Amino acid sequence: MVRRKYVVGNWKMNGLSGALAEAEAIFAGARAHEAVDVALCPPFTLIGPMAALGGATGGQDCHPQPSGAFTGSVSAPMLADAGAALVIVGHSERREGFAERDADVKAKAGAALAAGLSVILCVGEPLAVRESGGAIDYVLAQVQGSLPGDFDPARLAVAYEPIWAIGTGRVPTIEDVAAMHGAIRAALSDRIGEGAAAVRLLYGGSVNGDNAADLLGARDVDGALVGGASLTAAKFLPIIEAAARVG
């Protein structure tokens, strides 16, 4: 099974309407690389106008319920209605900052799929767990606890993002990334059988134009989830180009 490379930008809480010019430049540059799927996940406020630029646009979170008395929240059908094609769920900044547990992430992923969105499900260990040698067990438990019960493997990607690598400039060794991705693929295979071959596994955490080719070339790495380096075309396009090169 050939999995298309997938490079996704997570803008986090960055971007006013003036930043749409960067998104436009990113989408225009991405069109030169037909073999790579590219998406940007801006704050809620920019989803509509960014989707109108014609590139794949996603949310960074959604509520598990479709509607109701949940002040400040945005549901998966609302994201789809605004033009989103995908949503990130379970990012460590949500798990840590908003006390989201695996069960919450699972409910959000299920709600997103039901609304017709694709899902990027994030997992990743804290530094102490990595240093104690327990990273693979920790991440596989997150995968098992956060995966929705039933899903179309082509619409779900898992992003492995070690928490200590996010925004720090530190990245795991290529061997550690490949070992983690291999373990996630094997766990998916145990759970859903052959369909596991269609699930794209992204690496995230301090990906930049200099390290992207090595990371994206690692076994079982099908793409990247990129924070800081996705905010400008100058930094993001080299990552997309690296994905196209390693194919």
Which residues have a catalytic role annotated? 91, 161
210 forms part of the interface with ligand PGA (CB under 6 A): no
CB of 9 to ligand PGA, least distance (A): 9
Instruction: Report residue 32 CA to chain centroid gap.
Output: 22
> How far apart are the C-alpha atoms of 195 and 19, rounded to whole Å?
38
Query: CB-wise, 64 or 227, nearer to ligand PGA?
Result: 227
Q: Is 231 left (phi over 0), alpha (psi -120 to 50) or beta?
A: alpha
Q: Which stretch binds ligand PGA (CB under 6 A): 67-75, 99-107, 160-168, 184-192?
A: 160-168
227 forms part of the interface with ligand PGA (CB under 6 A): yes
Residue choice 39, 82, 107, 207 for contact with ligand PGA (CB under 6 A): 207
CB of 171 to ligand PGA, least distance (A): 9
Q: What's 230's DSSP letter?
A: G
CB of 30 to ligand PGA, least distance (A): 17
Query: CB-wise, 86 or 207, nearer to ligand PGA?
Result: 207
> How far apart are the C-alpha atoms of 218 and 80, rounded to whole Å?
33
226 forms part of the interface with ligand PGA (CB under 6 A): yes
Cα separations in angstroms, 160 against 102, 177, 215: 15, 8, 12
Residue choice 61, 104, 125, 161 for contact with ligand PGA (CB under 6 A): 161
Q: Which of 10, 2, 1 is nearest to 159 (CA)?
A: 10
> How far apart are the C-alpha atoms of 167 and 146, rounded to whole Å?
23
CB of 95 to ligand PGA, least distance (A): 12
66 forms part of the interface with ligand PGA (CB under 6 A): no
Q: 10 Å Cβ neighbour count for 91? A: 28
Residues that bind ligand PGA (CB under 6 A): 10, 161, 166-167, 204-207, 225-229
